[in-house]
Amino acid sequence: MKTQRSFPAEKPDVTCPFFERDWGELQANLVTTSIVKQVEVHTFECGCCCSDVPFEEMVQCADGHLFCCVCLRKSIEESTYGTLPASAALLCLDMAGCDQTIPLSELRRVVEFNLLSKYEERQANDCIAKARLEGLVRCPFCNFACDLDVGIDVLDCPSCWKKSCVKCKEPSHEPLRCEQVEKPSDTEHRRQIEEIMTGSILRHCTACKAVLIKDGGCNKIKCRCGQSMCYVCRSAITDYKHFCNHFREPGKGCSTCKGCFLWDQEDSDAVVLHAKRAALKRKAMDDPNILTREIGPAETLFVSKRKR
């Protein structure tokens, strides 16, 4: 077996199983080679890119012009994701200027299902845009387009079966007006502002960091851990020497010392309102329109309480 085996032109009289196997393979190879030599691959010129392409890899328009599948796919991709318009029917790509369309059966034969679906969706959107419908409204949940009559404020989408407000694009909130409904983006703003408002009237123990709040009484408070602190300046104290013990007129400061007042009560509503306004100003740096919306408790609530 060091040299290649030679095969005789005619089959010998003695039967050999190995020879029978090799003889069959040799005859099959000879037949296949002769068939391949007889078959000629016919190519045609693409009417778009002028490349020579086998007939099996070509597409034809309704008038019979041939162009390759590669050019067709690129044209559909550009119409779907690019700047080319997606017309109601795809026109022939032949450079001769044919105005015939490409049958849908040809598109389905060579174009992937996902790409063809996106192309048909782009076709529908372009046709709707060209119609310039005055009552055209899109569903905010599935982007389905509907033509509504004048005066209808709620879109009942026939695609996703969800109801939405035509004006604010939020879920339907009938019978409330749009300005009476809090948007999801405003909900997070409100939560943050309310936390700041609450934190403005809370105190934290200087020892154990427990949250403290006073509802009446003097300004010397004592935590359950045993730590005493001033409710006014929030500093740790040991006795009443921290507070002013001089006579003074109500509502005025002491001219003798700078100590805190033992019995003065904090105006919680004023502190909370000031904290809210400061928080809104900080958020307005990122969203200037936030000052035009009602975020958090209304200021009239604090004003009316102070008047009472």
Number of neighbouring beta carbons within 10 Å of residue 218:
14
DSSP state at residue 246: S
Dihedral Cα 224, 226, 231, 237, nearest 10 deg = 180
Judge whether 218 counts as a catalytic residue.
yes
Continuous H helices in the chain: 17-38, 69-81, 104-110, 113-131, 184-199, 268-284, 299-307
Q: How far apart are CA 203 and CA 199, in angstroms?
A: 8
Are residues 190 and 197 in contact, defined by beta-carbon separation less than 8 angstroms? Answer: no
Active-site pick, 69, 218, 244, 254: 218
3-state secondary structure of 241: helix
68-76 LR contacts (CB < 8 Å, sep 24+): 69/110, 71/46, 72/102, 72/107, 72/110, 72/111, 73/110, 73/111, 73/115, 76/107, 76/111, 76/115, 76/116, 76/119
Cα–Cα distance, 300 to 306 (Å, whole number): 10
Say how many C-beta atoms besides its own lie within 10 A of residue 76's C-beta: 23
Structure letter (DSSP) for residue 215: -
User: Which tokens is 102 given?
Assistant: 């490409």
CA distance 136 to 147: 5
Distance, first Cα to last Cα, the chain: 115
* Residues labelled catalytic: 218
